[in-house]
Amino acid sequence: MPYSPDHKQKTRARIVECARILFNRHGYEIVSIDMVMAEAGLTRGGFYNHFKNKEELFTAAVSSFLMGRGAQWRAAAGIDPANPAPEMASQMIAGYLSPEHLGDLDGQCPMIALPSDVARSKPEVQTAYQELLTAMVGLFETSLKERAKESSNDARRSALVLAALCVGGMVLARTLPNSELADEIRNTAHDEAQRLAYAS
């Protein structure tokens, strides 16, 4: 058996990580398979040893965020989904709607970077996107329940509203030209989300 057992798997992971960054920054159509493979230190032909086609790479790239760059981000923010704390929702809101997240074109959440691209893609990609949203809503819901001040129904309702505010505020801020309005909407969404997380 040539090459070590996990050689191919590591190469595949490297391709996916390069793809995630490039798609985040430039979008699905602009990024070519050549660009991704060159970024990973490979040539184009090898791509089809790892993926059926470009769309499958896109799915893998969106999926990879949750346990990859997203996990790093949660760790840095002191968020541990395994041990949900009452203040977890507040920490997530603060990090998600932060200026740092807005400026992080490579590391940002794909829900902000790629909504239009995913909306036009096949169901597989949309399912990967939905997993990100489901995870976010789940974390919010768990955290709000920890605070034990509201019923399960209210916690889920609030979690969905928080997700819409976080993603909506950031998508708008990202899309506006560099301006006061971008900061104003991000800050206002942030304050309102924190208010909801605490007041509910």
Which residues make up the interface to DNA (CB under 7 A)?
A: 1-4, 7-8, 11, 31-35, 37, 42-50, 53-55
- Applying CB under 8 A, the span of 51-59, 68-76, 84-92, 173-181 interacting with a second copy comes to 173-181
Burial of 93 (0-12, 13-18, 19+ CB in 10 A): buried
Compute the distance between CA of residue 41 and CA of residue 109 in angstroms, rounded to an integer.
Answer: 25
Which segments of 21-145 are extended strands (E)?
A: none
- From the list DNA, a second copy, none, which binds 147 (C-beta under 5 to 8 Å, kind-based)? none
Residue closer to DNA, measured from CB, 55 or 183? 55
- Return the CA Rg of the chain: 18
Is 169 one of the binding residues for a second copy (CB under 8 A)?
A: yes
In angstroms, what is the minimal distance from the CB of 21 to DNA? 16
Contacts of 91 (CB under 8 A, 6+ apart): 77, 78, 79
Residue closer to a second copy, measured from CB, 30 or 75? 30
In angstroms, what is the minimal distance from the CB of 82 to a second copy? 24
In angstroms, what is the minimal distance from the CB of 187 to a second copy? 9
Residues listed for the chain: 200
**Tokens encoding 27:** 């979008």
Torsion, Cα 159 113 103 97, to 10 degrees, reads -10
Contact 190, 94 (CB under 8 A): yes
- From the list DNA, a second copy, none, which binds 47 (C-beta under 5 to 8 Å, kind-based)? DNA
Point out which residues bind a second copy (CB under 8 A).
26-27, 29-30, 111, 113-120, 123, 126-127, 129-130, 133-134, 157, 160-161, 163-169, 171-172, 174-177, 179, 181, 184-185, 188-189, 191-192
